[in-house]
Chains A and B, each alone.
Chain A
Amino acid sequence: MARAFLREPDGFVALLDDGERLILSGLMQQTRVLLSPEIEATGDAFDDLVASMGVSLDLADQGTGSADSTGSSGDDEPADTGHRDPALDRLLPTAHRGDDEVAAEFRRLTEEGLRQRKSSNLDLAIGRIEAADEDRVVLDAAQAPAFLIALTDVRLLLGERMGMRTEEDAEALHAAMETIDDDDPLGYAMAWYDFLTWLQETLAHALMDERDGDGEGTDEDV
């Protein structure tokens, strides 16, 4: 049974058992696949900077993501061009309502960088889950925000898949839980969604409490 994130001497710590870690890291990996950048981070700061601006240094890279028809390995994104998973519009939403050109330009300039940042948060979070020792998932001060943001993206994806787009949708889904069959996949998804909500809430609170503590000290710099 899971225990919430708490501030402990060695960091922000949650207790998650094998099954919980397996599901959580599986959901993070699915989110990671959806968000995978066209160009993965190379470790070279300059190349990554250029890539994050949406420019590929290697012409051969361009279009391979959609033209590659050899690797039909199952649940990856459909390979046809023009298809955009609706969940992506939730994770990388239109940034200008009312001017499609401005929105498209913004997306062209920012999407690759956002995908890289979100992916690296998810990679870090998956790594921390895999590094758990005796069920303890431990995050230091730098890892905790990345983990918190990764949880957001997983919940956004799960929420979108369940059709949770408005407050009314969320209420309807929670109401449906009262009568749903135990083996209904929607009920299963909703239970994990609520679990992630709880986990994220406890980590957000732990971070806020930590900040309150800092605020009373003398070294409050941002």
Chain B
Amino acid sequence: MPTASLSLAPVEEEVTSLDEVVAPDVPWVTIVWNDPVNLMTYVTWVFETYFAYPRSKAEKLMMDVHVRGRAVVSHGPRESMERDAEALQGYGLWATFEKDE
């Protein structure tokens, strides 16, 4: 997938999202599980569309789902994770939420 055009995109949203994802004190997570039906392009599109993640991050999470079988796609309070799981299920992804251990 071509990524060259990405270099022109603003970078500030990536910084914000990274902070969100590594924040240590948020105890719940949303997980997306691998499945044989959802396409790599589509999963990337969903992460960009729903979370407004930049292409590089959306693709990295998509690859984690594909290769490792699952990826934590968001952290936060339980209510937010339930909302994320519901939204991602709306897109047809296999999303769950749980307390982060």
Contact = CB atoms under 8 A, between A and B. Distances in A.
A222 to B, nearest CB: 4
Interface string B16-54: 000000000000000000111111011011001100100
A126 B44 CA distance: 25
A159 B90 contact: no
Interface SS of chain A: helix
B36 to A, nearest CB: 4
A94 B5 CA distance: 38
B45 to A, nearest CB: 5
A164 B5 CA distance: 36
Interface string A197-222: 10011001101100110011000101
Nearest to A217: B8
A215 B91 CA distance: 23
Given A204-B42, A212-B5, A216-B5, A95 B36 contact: no
Contacts of A159: 36-37
A190 B86 CA distance: 29
Contacts, number: 90
Interface string B85-101: 11001111011111000
> Interface residues of A toward B: which range?
35 or more
> Interface residues of B toward A: which range?
20 to 34
Contacts of A117: 90
B15 interface: no
Contacts of A92: 89
A93 B94 contact: yes
A32 to B, nearest CB: 14
Contacts of B98: 96-98
A39 interface: no
